[in-house]
Amino acid sequence: MKKITLIYFFLVFTGLEFVCAQEKQEWKTVFGNINKEVLDHSRAYETLKEATTTIGHRLTGSANGKKAEEYAYQLLKGYGFTNLRYQPFEVESWSRGNLSVAIGADTNHLVAVKSVALAHSPVKSDVSNEIVDMGNGLEEDYLVAPDKARGKIALVYLGVLPGSKPGTKGLHRSEKTAIATKYGALGIIVINTADGGILLTGTASVTGKLIPIPAVCIGKEDGMKLKEELKTAKCYTHIKMNNFSGIIKARNVIATIKGKTIPNEKVVVGGHLDSWDLATGAIDNGIGSFAVLDMARTFAALKLKPERTVEFVMFMGEEEGLLGSKAYVNAAMKDQSINQLRYMLNYDMTNDPKGYASSDESSKDLFLSIGAIAQTFDTSYKNIFRSGAGLHSDHQPFMLQGVPTAGGAGGVLPNNSGPCYHADCDKFNLVDRAGIVNTVRFSSMLLYGIADSKIISAKHFTDAETKEFLLKNNLKEPLQIAGEWRWKD
Phi and psi, residue 50, nearest 5° = -65, -45
pLDDT of residue 93: 82
The domains located in the chain, with CATH, are 27-83+258-481 (3.40.630.10), 94-243 (3.50.30.30)
Amino acid at 247: I
Buried b (16+ CB within 10 A) or exposed e, 361-400: eebeebbebbbebbbebeeebebebebebebbbbbbbbbb
pLDDT of residue 306: 98
CB neighbours of residue 471 within 10 Å: 11
Nearest to 378 by CA among 431, 447, 435: 435
pLDDT of residue 21: 36
Report mean pLDDT in 10-residue bins for the chain, 489 residues: 36 38 76 98 98 97 96 98 97 90 95 98 98 98 98 98 95 97 98 97 93 98 98 98 94 98 98 97 98 99 98 97 96 97 98 98 96 97 97 98 98 97 96 98 98 95 98 96 92
**Dihedral Cα 358, 363, 365, 369, nearest 10 deg:** -70
Intra-chain end-to-end CA distance of the chain, in Å: 54
pLDDT of residue 16: 39
Which regions of 124-234 does DSSP assign to beta strands (E)? 124-133, 153-157, 187-191, 215-218
Length of the chain: 489
Which regions of 292-346 does DSSP assign to beta strands (E)? 308-315, 341-346
| Predicted TM-score (pTM) of this structure | 0.91
pLDDT of residue 41: 98
Nearest to 103 by CA among 93, 94, 114: 114
- What are 100's strand-pairing partners? 240
pLDDT of residue 5: 36
Contact 253, 314 (CB under 8 A): yes
Task: Enumerate residues 6+ apart whose C-beta is below 8 A from 230.
Answer: 131, 132, 133, 155
Phi and psi, residue 397, nearest 5° = -60, -35
- What are 405's strand-pairing partners? 344
pLDDT of residue 14: 38
Nearest to 313 by CA among 51, 76, 41, 42: 76
Task: Enumerate residues 6+ apart whose C-beta is below 8 A from 63.
Answer: none
